[in-house]
Amino acid sequence: MRYKQGALMTGYVTILIKGDRPELFFQKCMRQGILVWNIKKTADDACIGSVRLHDVKELKTIKRKTNHKLTFIDKKGCPFLIKRFTKKRQLMLGLVISVMLIIFLSNIIWEVQITGVPTEVEEKISKQLDEYGVHSGAWIFTLDEPTAIQDQLIKDVPELLWVGVEQKGTTFYLEGVEKSVVEEKESTGPQHLVATKKGVIKNMYVSEGLPRVAVNDYVEPGDVLVSGIINEENEDSEEGEEDKERQLDLVAADGDITATTWYEVSVNVPLGGDYEMLSGNQEKKYYISLGNLRFPIWGLGNPDYEDIHRETNETPIHFLKWQLPVTFIDTTLSEKLYHSVERTKEEAINTGIMQAKNELQLQLGPESQIISEKVLHETTERGKVKLNLYISVEENIAKAEPIEPLSQGD
């Protein structure tokens, strides 16, 4: 219905024509090119029809030439609605201000709730949070991500084992788990100490149990290092003399057994390499984005760095609990520098050894000690040095293994 298209947007009026042969009035309108629709004859001398708002002026000039009576009976469309609204300007202003206020308040922290930890730790946490700027009354989008706060908190509050930070609307929920100091030694059942890796025993300190190996012995994984059965030998010697059913003395074997173990590691080290570094120069930019559009607020113009590393943080703006399609974006532009290195073969070997040692140390944990390393084999091909390394390590190889209750009697 093309005639009605946009009529609601631009507005239209319904008119009532009274007089002799009212349809002739519409006939005249038609001749003038005025669009008329929904013409109805309500009585012999009355006719109603709808006309666009901007045709009304012409309507009046036509009316002057005829002796029909014209009355407006209905007004519809946007212009009339807007007019009605703008008449109540205070109301509109109040509405806009209240919406702005709600948006403003929706982006402020109202409450920080900490659960799951005793009060002293809670106080400590809230003190730390204050330092990060997380307190009631703070702007939400000036804060870090919950995950970042989480990491920071675990670092700064040593009593915390784990902390979950969740932002729900205007409330921050923190759930902490306190590190409980575990009793050093829990009395365990009878146990042996068993080797976990093959190696040569270097050092033995047995606090409980019967040692079954000596220093410089070679052990394989699964070998018993310290036995939890103390009077085993007695059993052997006095075989038959006493009852086989007599009780064995069982203890929880304990001690530190350090052994020299060895690993074969192969590493690849390129002779040349590129890497990028941030120079430390940086600039910040702030935007407000709506869908795909971005409106800069602060930090216009681009820095004249050659290579730029961008880091973008987006914070959604909330309205009550809903997230608005508007987000606050801050971007950090850092200068990036490319470096390339050329290594000699010797340097490459050294880096390879360092790398292998670091990796192994990470794997084995801080208590292990790397004693020596030896290059078993090296080849150079396609700009890479391939190394086979032999690394010997001193580490604790003992592992507790509970003694199964012996089936006695046979």
Partner 1 sequence: MKKWQQHIRPWLVKYLALPSDVMLELPRITIIGQIHVYIENHQGLETYSDTELKLKTNKGFIRITGSAFVLKMMLPEEILLEGTISDVTFIPD
Comparing CB distances to partner 1, the nearer of 29 and 194 is 29
Residues in 46-75 that interact with partner 1 by CB under 8 A: 47, 49
Q: How far is CA 203 from CA 259, 263, 283, in A?
A: 7, 19, 57
CB distance 278 to 334 below 8 Å: yes
CB of 45 to partner 1, least distance (A): 11
328 binds partner 1, rule: CB under 8 A: no
Comparing CB distances to partner 1, the nearer of 31 and 339 is 31
CB of 27 to partner 1, least distance (A): 4
Among 6, 9, 10, 27, binds partner 1 (CB under 8 A): 27
85 binds partner 1, rule: CB under 8 A: no
36 binds partner 1, rule: CB under 8 A: yes
Comparing CB distances to partner 1, the nearer of 47 and 252 is 47
Among 16, 18, 35, 378, binds partner 1 (CB under 8 A): 35
- Strand 224-227 versus strand 210-211 pairing type: antiparallel
Helix (H, G, I), strand (E, B) or coil at 363: helix
38 binds partner 1, rule: CB under 8 A: yes
The helix-helix angle for 119-132 and 146-156 (nearest 10°) equals 120
Closest by alpha carbon to 126, among 139, 141, 111, 144? 111
Comparing CB distances to partner 1, the nearer of 21 and 377 is 21
Which tokens go with 357? Answer: 């040692």
329 binds partner 1, rule: CB under 8 A: no
Among 9, 30, 290, 371, binds partner 1 (CB under 8 A): 30
Number of Cβ within a 10 Å radius of residue 217: 14
Among 10, 20, 41, 242, binds partner 1 (CB under 8 A): 41
CB of 26 to partner 1, least distance (A): 6
16 binds partner 1, rule: CB under 8 A: no
CB of 72 to partner 1, least distance (A): 19
Sign of CA dihedral 224, 228, 234, 238: negative
Among 16, 39, 271, 317, binds partner 1 (CB under 8 A): 39
Comparing CB distances to partner 1, the nearer of 41 and 377 is 41
1 binds partner 1, rule: CB under 8 A: yes
Compute the chain's Rg from CA coordinates: 43
Rounded to whole angstroms, the Cα distance separating 289 from 314 reads 9
Which tokens go with 1? Answer: 């219905």
Closest by alpha carbon to 360, among 400, 386, 399, 395? 395
12 binds partner 1, rule: CB under 8 A: no
* Dihedral pair phi/psi, residue 127, rounded to 5°: -65, -45
Rounded to whole angstroms, the Cα distance separating 76 from 292 reads 35
Helix (H, G, I), strand (E, B) or coil at 216: coil
Helix (H, G, I), strand (E, B) or coil at 353: helix
Rounded to whole angstroms, the Cα distance separating 23 from 44 reads 10
* Count of residues touching partner 1 (by CB under 8 A): 21
Comparing CB distances to partner 1, the nearer of 31 and 382 is 31
CB distance 218 to 169 below 8 Å: no
Residues in 214-243 that interact with partner 1 by CB under 8 A: none
* Dihedral pair phi/psi, residue 82, rounded to 5°: -60, -40
Comparing CB distances to partner 1, the nearer of 17 and 149 is 17
Comparing CB distances to partner 1, the nearer of 44 and 245 is 44
Chain residues that interact with partner 1, rule: CB under 8 A: 1, 3, 21, 23-24, 26-27, 29-31, 33, 35-41, 44, 47, 49
